[in-house]
Amino acid sequence: MRVLVIGAGVIGSLYGARLALAGHEVTILARGRRYQDIATGGLIIEEARHGRRETASVSAISELDGDDRYDLTLVSVRNNQVASVLPLLERCTSPAVLFMVNSAEGPEKLANAIGASRLLLGFPGAGGTCVDGIVRYTIVHPVIQMTTVGESQGDQVTERVRALVEVFRQAGFPSAPCRDMDAWLKTHVAVVSPIANAVYAKDGDLRAAANDRALMRTCALALKENLRAVEASGVSLTPGRFGLLRLVPTALMARVAGMLLDTDYADLVVARHANNARDEMGELARQVSAIATAVGVQTPSADALAAFI
């Protein structure tokens, strides 16, 4: 399969590298120093736990040629960078364009820009950092989160979604299809936004946030508020287990959240991204707040945490 990756950050580089190592023909669009690094040295990835390092040979381009043909275009950029990518996609003829982007805004703008029939939505099941051109990563345990892919419209799992899930599995990513990817994304943002904002409340120090009981209680309350707002908007919380969080006593949720966040794993997967994407997290908080406002759900704890962005 011929794959174009737009976005040479951690996720774009990691997925591009592992797809290339699995035998696919990968081209990655990058700019500036990142383009030079990839063009001369390939994509270098290092698994964080065991230190295993691999180099994937890919094609690097700095401009998109409309004559090039790709079977799949994978877009992995920050939410607040999506608008700048859409003009590029007008010159891209891929029949399938997969956006791996944090968003609670819904797929309508993307569908209108590139065509609903081409649009796929997804989310990675990995995280990491990029230092000196090397992506140090971890793949999230599948019980917590898998690479998830779905159509942008309708309650369905199509053959192309099943095929893409299998492609990612063969590249080493535990993966699953989703019947309602828009609901999945809105639920995800409702959960991660308060956590990121709690990190900002402690000036980017995840461990300090995790060990502040009052802050973790506010985070738990904010998470419940956001989930209530998303559900009130007519969206089914997805995966369904997130609906159970609203039933967990706040004190217990706060304690468990503190324990889970006080780990090296959470530091790599959660805090590093939050601290490098503060502008994106601000936009996500505004998107969730807009959902709550539209349905009249009060979110005092979420609003209090958003003030730290």
Express each pLDDT in 116-157 by its tens digit: 999 999 999 999 999 999 999 999 999 989 999 999 987 889
Task: Mark whether 139 and 199 lie in a shared domain.
Answer: no
For residues 102-124, give the mean pLDDT: 95
Task: Mark whether 282 and 193 lie in a shared domain.
Answer: yes
Query: What pLDDT sits at residue 268?
Result: 81
Provide, rounded to the nearest whole percent, the portion of the chain with pLDDT above 70.
100
Query: What pLDDT sits at residue 93?
Result: 86
Q: Mark which of 112, 144, 179 sits at the end of a domain.
A: 179
What sign for the dihedral angle of Cα 5, 277, 190, 128?
Answer: positive
Task: Mark whether 99 and 120 lie in a shared domain.
Answer: yes
The structural domain count of the chain equals 2
Task: Mark whether 225 and 200 lie in a shared domain.
Answer: yes
Task: Mark whether 228 and 165 lie in a shared domain.
Answer: no
CB 74 within 8 A of CB 93: no
Task: Mark whether 125 and 246 lie in a shared domain.
Answer: no
Task: Mark whether 138 and 198 lie in a shared domain.
Answer: no
Task: Mark whether 157 and 25 lie in a shared domain.
Answer: yes
Q: Mark which of 164, 179, 194 sits at the end of a domain.
A: 179
Of 243 and 4, the structure prediction assigns the larger pLDDT to 4
Task: Mark whether 164 and 204 lie in a shared domain.
Answer: no
Q: Residue 71: how many CA atoms within 13 Å on its side-chain side? A: 10
SS3 33: helix
Backbone angles phi, psi at 62, to 5 degrees: -110, -15
pTM of the complete model: 0.94
Query: What pLDDT sits at residue 230?
Result: 98
Q: Which domain holds residue 225?
A: 183-306
Query: What pLDDT sits at residue 167?
Result: 98
Task: Mark whether 222 and 292 lie in a shared domain.
Answer: yes
pLDDT in tens, 227-270: 999 999 999 999 999 989 989 999 999 999 999 999 988 888 88
User: Given the structure tokens 């950029």, which residue do they identify?
Assistant: 77
Task: Mark whether 152 and 238 lie in a shared domain.
Answer: no
Provide, rounded to the nearest whole percent, the portion of the chain with pLDDT above 90.
87
Task: Mark whether 228 and 96 lie in a shared domain.
Answer: no
Q: What is the CATH number of the domain that holds 116?
A: 3.40.50.720
User: Given the structure tokens 């700048």, which residue do they identify?
Assistant: 84
CB 148 within 8 A of CB 184: yes
- How far is it, in rounded angstroms, from Cα 297 to Cα 228? 8
Cα dihedral: 96, 101, 104, 109 (round 10)? -50
Backbone angles phi, psi at 73, to 5 degrees: -115, 125
Q: Mark which of 137, 158, 179 sits at the end of a domain.
A: 179
Query: What pLDDT sits at residue 64?
Result: 87
DSSP annotation of 267 reads I
